[in-house]
Amino acid sequence: MAEAAPETRDAKNIRLNRGAVISLFIYYLALLLAAGAYAMKLNLAQKIAPGEEDPFFLCLALSVVGVSIFYTRKLYKACISDNYTFTQEALSAKMIGSVAYFVARPFFGFFFAWVSYMIWVTTIISSVKEFTGFSPNHFYLSGLLGFFVGFLVGRVVSKMENSGEKHLMGVV
């Protein structure tokens, strides 16, 4: 059976006014700076006292960094493309949906990174006879996992919508 076509990622579907776009840019910049500063703090603490910082928190922080970078880029590309114009609408359903789309993505990235980290750690621990602990590199690999899950969360959501149920039913 052929897989469903991937979700169309079309800037023409975005409906935002100037105030919403500016607010979203500020929102993503604030998230990027806060999560980036927290990740740097964790990284510095890890260098000073290896093994003291929980890699789970680095994973979550860098997932927010990844989401912020991806969706800031998506937003500015929508703004500068020839296909997009600002709407003058105050609060249409399409505008509310567009704002919700952009505001919710960091939360999706955060929780998908959480679940991905738990699956990854559980897989590692359950695949050995006697677990003695993680190597120091686990900290950095956790950060990479979080960043990529956050950066690609939109594709993960689309993939789960399109094929997740089919695969789950095959397992159950």
What the block records as the tokens of 123 is 């897989």
Burial class (CB in 10 A: 0-12, 13-18, 19+), 113: buried
Question: Which pLDDT belongs to residue 5?
Answer: 42
pLDDT at 70: 95
pLDDT of residue 157: 81
Contacts 24+ apart (CB under 8 A), 26-30: 27/102, 27/103, 28/68, 28/71, 28/72, 28/75, 28/102, 29/68, 29/72
User: How many whole angstroms separate alpha carbon 4 and alpha carbon 26?
Assistant: 35
Alpha carbons 70 and 55: distance in angstroms, whole number: 22
pLDDT at 33: 97
For position 4, what pLDDT does the model report?
A: 42
Sketch the domain layout of the chain as residue ranges: 11-171
State the Cα–Cα distance between residues 75 and 22, nearest whole angstrom. Answer: 10
Q: Which two tokens stand for residue 166?
A: 């089919």
CA distance 109 to 67: 6
Give the N- to C-terminal CA distance of the chain in Å, as an integer. Answer: 19
CA distances from 103 to 36, 53, 64, 139 (A): 18, 29, 12, 28
Q: In one letter, which amino acid is 97?
A: G
Record the tokens describing residue 27, joined without a space: 């929102």
* Number of residues in the chain: 172
Q: What is the DSSP letter of 53?
A: S
> Which DSSP state fits 164?
I
| Local mean pLDDT, 10-residue blocks, the chain (172 residues) | 46 79 95 96 85 87 96 88 70 86 93 93 87 83 94 85 72 64
